[in-house]
């Protein structure tokens, strides 16, 4: 599995380098969208909008330029034999639905039981951020975070829970603004040991 994660990230990087359009093409596309809505991209209020939106999209989708495997490479082994659960709670993120490019706003709870080494806690948040800043569905994002931590750190187990509101159904479509989606991925002792899983769930959502 670890080699698969590394290979996927290499393919993604190569693809983005070869096929990525330049800024002028992106801004032209946004001008086309503005015309399609029925407005004039040359009017004063909109003339700089294509450039602003291009910059915003660079931020929204900056995760494609980052490798989550590399983020987890630096670990610490001087942990005095610590082998209990580590939980980082309530990691806020903003993502975008790959079906409608509508916002997904939520929080992630990430846990693992170390096996001889730990990683800096900010790195867990950064892994969430990298995957969030790509076009996503929540189920895939949940699995990606857990699988990457499991493959790189090789802990006794990993648990990830994500709770998020999807604007593709809260502000359009069925218009259910009070709904949210909860997904989870349990690996190793989190999957095999009901007590470990329950301990994590009690700390999370």
Going from N- to C-terminal start, the domains of the chain cover: 2-60, 71-203
Set 6, 94, 98, 107: catalytic member: 98
Set 27, 96, 129, 138: catalytic member: 138
**pTM of the shown model:** 0.90
Set 6, 94, 168, 199: catalytic member: 168
The span from the CA of 94 to the CA of 78, in Å, is 34
2-60 against 71-203: fold identical: no
pLDDT over 70, % of the chain: 91
Set 25, 99, 139, 198: catalytic member: 99
Tell me, yes or no, if 98 is annotated catalytic: yes
The string of pLDDT tens digits covering residues 45-92 is 999 999 999 999 999 999 999 999 999 999 999 999 999 999 999 999
Please, are residues 67 and 13 in contact by the beta-carbon 8 Å criterion?
A: yes
The string of pLDDT tens digits covering residues 136-173 is 999 999 999 999 999 999 999 999 999 999 999 999 88
Set 97, 144, 156, 175: catalytic member: 97
Q: Which CATH class is domain 2-60?
A: mainly alpha
Tell me, yes or no, if 199 is annotated catalytic: no
The string of pLDDT tens digits covering residues 38-52 is 999 999 999 999 999
pLDDT over 90, % of the chain: 85
Tell me, yes or no, if 6 is annotated catalytic: no
The string of pLDDT tens digits covering residues 94-145 is 999 999 999 999 999 999 999 999 999 999 999 999 999 999 999 999 999 9
* Closest-CA residue to 162 (of 134, 135, 139): 139
Tell me, yes or no, if 189 is annotated catalytic: no
Locate 82 and state its tokens: 């610590």
Tell me, yes or no, if 156 is annotated catalytic: no
Burial 118-129 (b: 16+ CB within 10 A, else e): bbeeebbbbbbb
CATH 3.40.50.720 fits 71-203, yes or no: no
Any idea what the Cα angle at residue 111 is, between residues 189 and 194, rounded to 5°?
35
């Amino acid at each position: 599995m670890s080699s698969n994660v590394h290979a996927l990230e290499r393919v993604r990087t190569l693809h983005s380098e070869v096929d990525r359009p330049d800024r002028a093409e992106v801004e032209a596309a946004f001008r086309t969208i503005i015309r399609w809505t029925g407005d004039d991209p040359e009017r004063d209020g909109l003339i700089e909008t294509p450039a602003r939106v291009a910059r915003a999209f660079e931020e929204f989708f900056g995760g494609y330029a980052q490798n989550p495997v590399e983020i987890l490479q630096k670990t610490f082994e001087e942990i005095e034999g610590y082998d209990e659960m580590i939980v980082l709670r309530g990691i806020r993120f903003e993502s975008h639905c790959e079906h409608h490019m509508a916002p997904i706003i939520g929080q992630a709870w990430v846990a693992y039981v170390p096996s001889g080494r730990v990683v800096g806690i900010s790195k867990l948040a950064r892994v969430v951020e990298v995957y969030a800043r790509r076009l996503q569905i929540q189920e895939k994002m949940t699995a990606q975070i857990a699988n990457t931590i499991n493959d790189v750190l090789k802990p006794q187990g990993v648990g990830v829970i994500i709770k998020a509101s999807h604007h593709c159904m809260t502000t359009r479509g069925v218009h259910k603004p009070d709904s949210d989606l909860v997904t989870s991925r349990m690996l190793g002792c989190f999957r095999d040991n009901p007590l470990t899983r329950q301990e994590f769930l009690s700390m999370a959502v």
